[in-house]
Structure formats: C-alpha cells, structure tokens
Amino acid sequence: MRFIDYIVMALRNIMRQKLRSALTIFAVVIGATSVTIMLAAVFSLKGFMTKQLEANGTFQQIQVSPQQDIAWGDGGNTGCADCTKLTDELVTKISTQPHVMGVARMVQLGQMQALTYGDQKLRLNQVSAYDTNGILHNNVVAGRDLNAQDKDGVLTITSDYANKLGFKNNYRALVGKSVGLVTQNWYNGVGSDPAKQYKDQMAWFEAHPGQDGRDYTPPSTTLTGTIVGIVDSGFSSFTVRVPLAWARGMSESQTYQVTKADQEAAQAKCRAAHTPCNSQPAPHLVVSDELAKQGYSSLIVKADQSSNANGVAKNIRDKFHVGAADAQTQIKQQLAIFNVLGYILGGIGGIALVVAAVGVINTMVMSILERTREIGVMRAVGARRSTVSRLFTFEAGLLGMLGGVIGLGLGYGVVLIANPIINKQLQTNGVTGSNIITLPLWLIFGVIGLTTLIGLLAGLYPARRAAKLDPVEALHYE
C-alpha cells in the first residue's frame, strides 16, 4: 500500500465519525494549546529579559566589592575586618587592567530618613551615588538620567516614589521639581551648619550640667535637590540617585573642634607670654573626607565585551583581593529558574496530552470494534497484517497531528491577544519592547511533532489488536 493511500484512507476514516473524531481531537487540542502558550510565554520572557540586560550592557558589568566572597548584586560593605578598601588608587589600577573599558564608583549613603515633597514625607533609607561617566545606565521614564556635568543638588527618583507622590501616569510633571532629603540627626556633611551645631551643643551642655553628651540630639538637616529624571524602578523600587560629587560632600564630616594641636599651640602661647591659660582655645572647623577614609561601597567595572566579563572578574579578584562577580554568570543562573518554570508548566500541558492519548486509544479501540467486518474485507482482498496495523497507527497519529495543529493555532491566537496587553503594560512601565511573546520554530514543530508522536504511540495498541484479528472471524462479525 502506498504512503499517500495510508494518509487518504486514515483521513477518510477520521471524517467518517466526525463528532467522535472532533471530541478526541479536542482533548489533544487542550493539551497542545496549554503546552504552546506556557512554553512560548516562559521562553519568550526569558529571552526578552536576557536581551534587555544585554542591551543595557549589564552582561559587560563586573561588580567589585570590598568583601572577597560576594555575589553580584549583593551590594558593598565597607565595615568588615578583612575587607580591602576600594580607594581611588585601586580604581586607577583596575582601569588599566586588560579588557577594562571603565570603572564607576558607587556609594550607598545610609544617613537619610525621609524624602519630602511639598507636605508629603516618604521613608528614605539611603541614597545611591555613582560616577555619571556612562558606565551605569538607568531606564529613564521621564526627564533625563544623571550626567557628567551634574554636581550637588540634582537627583533622580524611581517611578515607585513618583507613584507614591501621586504622579502615576504623569511623571513628566515631576521633572524640575524640588524635593527635600531629610538626614538623620547626627548628619554633618555638606549642607549642615557645623558652627550652629557646635553652638547648640555647647548651649545644651551648659543647660544640662553633669549630663552625658550622648543624651544630646542634634537636629536633622534637610538637603534640597532638583529632580532631573524619573527612573524605572526595576529591582530597586525606592531609590534616590545622586551624582558621586554630591555624595562625597554628604559623607564629609564637618565639625568645630578644639584639637590637641590647638590646645598645645595655645599653651605654648601662654607660656611664651607668661600668662596663665584659663580659657579654652577657640574651636575651628575640621573637614574630613570620610569617603576617602572608608573607601567606596562598590565599583562597577565595564569589560570591553560580555564574553570577557568573567575573565576580568577573575583577574581583579586574584590581583587585588577584593570581591568581583560578573553579572552574566549570576544572572544566567537566576534565569535558569525560567527553564524550571517552563518544564513545570510544560509538564502540566503534558498531563493533558497523556489524558488526550487515553482518549485516542479509547476512540481507536471503539472504532476497530465497529470496523471489524471492514478489516476482514480488507484482509480478504489482500491487506497484510502490517498494512492494517499501519493504517490504524496512521489514523491515530493523524488525530494527534490535527490536535497539535489546531492547538498551535489556538495558542497563536492567545499570543496575538496577549501581546498587545503586555505591550501596554511595558509601555506604562517605560520598558522598550513590543510583541515579546513569540512562537519559535522549534516550538511549532515541537508541538506538532509531540502530539503526532503521542497519537502514533496511542495508536500502537489498538492497531495491534486490529492486525491480530482473524480474517475469517472478522468477516462474520456482527
């Protein structure tokens, strides 16, 4: 029997019992549709995120931190015992390493307590500062990102802050507005008034004689900044970003002090004049660059190519005894969760397909019972056992294939409906990208191939039964 005749005959037999065939195929369709949608969604999302990160240059980035055993994205810690300080000297050395395109210094300042806008006051734990040298990009949804010209008094806030401030869908209106950064009480960086603070403290001591200085609480300072841009929240929902120059000032310690040197100088003066030294010498302003003393929280190193990121990270780790992790390795591990998700969801669709396979077996067994006489006739006019077997296997495979094709079509329909919805969602979040869910070719052929295979496998047992029928008995079957 010719191959084409198998197809024609199988198709004709399927058409003969339209309702039953349709119901059987329906079960396959459900399985195929769910497998299609689930796998397409999971793998498209994974691909989209990977592409997004690739486009941001994230895969070229290496995070350097004072601690040696640190993963990418963990943030820096300047306070540990066996840490290596991330100093400007180190930054210079790292910049000259092979495959390094540039370094951005980062600081997390934890001396903040609130962000104010008009009479609104939102919680603010820390301010992020970084070199605005083009190595770190942020996803700007309104206004602009910080640039190299920016100094004190400029900042960006995340869209989550903007939403909380009541500017959802109207981010543009926030650009150019002033906000206040309310510091913690002991803040004595740029913008504070160290002379007044000294005076207030002295006054308090006079008013509370014999009391411990620890009971004195200085007032907080409010720094004023202009919003130049709103940045997509991404993974860090409530963040205020400032240029590194401003952060350097914020981390300064400005205090009026009478140092030991002052006292010695005063005493020497008294001795020389032969007068008793009764009064304290006048205090003077001492400014200390704490950032230089403590080092940066972390550095972001940009490799020339994403494929070199891992090597650069290893080199930095080995040479400078700091922590260095490339984003790529880390993120790819994290994205592997999508594979697991894909397998789980695909598995659910797979169960539906198993149920569908049972349906195919049932239909075929019934069909063979009904067509026993017909099988007898086919055998009498020259059909081999293998011909009969193949015919029914083909029929079952065709049921599976039709189910797969229809399921794929339905899945495609769902994708067509889902994409515009996702597009809209992406747009409101300021993410560039449209029609992110796609049906890759491997999925199309995979689903049709899978359902066809399931059909063929489901057809094996009924086909064997049909082939084993005794032609003489089959011809007289009622």
Partner 1 sequence: MPAIIQLKNVTKTYTLGDEVLKALNSVNFSIEPGEFIAITGPSGSGKSTLANIIGGLDRPTEGSVVVDGNDLARVRDSKLSAYRNTHIGFVFQSFNLQGSQTALENVMLPLVFARMRAKDRKARATECLQAVGLGDRLRHRPSQLSGGQRQRVAIARALATKPSIIIADEPTGNLDSARGEEIIKLLKELHDTGITLIIITHDPTIARQAERIVIIRDGRLAERRA
CB 189 within 8 A of CB 254: yes
**For partner 1, which is the closer residue by CB, 154 or 378?**
378
Contact call for residues 252 and 288 (beta carbons, < 8 A): yes
Q: Which is nearer to partner 1, 378 or 406 (CB)?
A: 378
Q: Which 3 state secondary structure label does DSSP give 180?
A: strand
- How buried is residue 447: exposed, middle or buried, by Cβ count under 10 Å (0-12/13-18/19+)? buried
Q: Which is nearer to partner 1, 386 or 425 (CB)?
A: 386
Closest distance to partner 1 from the beta carbon of 385 (Å)? 5
Closest CB 378 distance from partner 1, rounded Å? 7
Q: Residue 419 and residue 44: Cα distance in Å, rounded?
A: 11
Cα torsion 71, 76, 80, 81 to 10°: value is 70
Residue (99 or 385) nearer to partner 1, CB: 385
Longest dimension (CA), the chain: 140
CB of 436 to partner 1, least distance (A): 48
What are 341's strand-pairing partners?
none
**Positions in the binding site for partner 1 (CB under 8 A):** 1-2, 4-5, 9, 16, 373-374, 376-387, 471-472, 475
Collapse the DSSP code of 115 into the 3-class scheme (helix H, G, I; strand E, B; otherwise coil) and give the result: strand
CB of residue 475 to partner 1, shortest distance in Å:
6
3-state secondary structure labels for all residues of 70-107: CCCCCCCCCCCCCCCCCCHHHHHHHHCCCCEEEEEEEE
- Tell me which residue of 359, 423, 412, 396 sits closest to 26, measured CA to CA: 359
Whether the CB-CB separation of 29 and 410 falls below 8 Å is answered with yes
Compute the least distance from the CB of residue 359 to partner 1, in Å.
23
Which residues, at least 6 apart from 202, have a Cβ–Cβ distance to it below 8 Å? none
Nearest distance in Å: CB 450, partner 1: 30
The pairing of strands 154-158 and 100-109 is unpaired
Nearer to partner 1, 109 or 383 (CB): 383
Nearer Cβ to partner 1 (37/388): 388
- The DSSP symbol for 68 reads S
- CA nearest neighbour of 238 among 124, 67, 107: 124
Q: Return the number of the residue (268 or 369) whose C-beta is nearest partner 1.
A: 369
Identity of the amino acid at 395: E
Write down the least CB distance from residue 386 to partner 1, Å. Answer: 7
C-beta of residue 226 within 8 angstroms of C-beta of residue 178 = yes
Report the alpha-carbon angle 279-283-286, nearest 5. 160
CA 457 to chain centre: 41
Q: Which is nearer to partner 1, 12 or 121 (CB)?
A: 12
CB nearer to partner 1: give 200 or 374.
Answer: 374
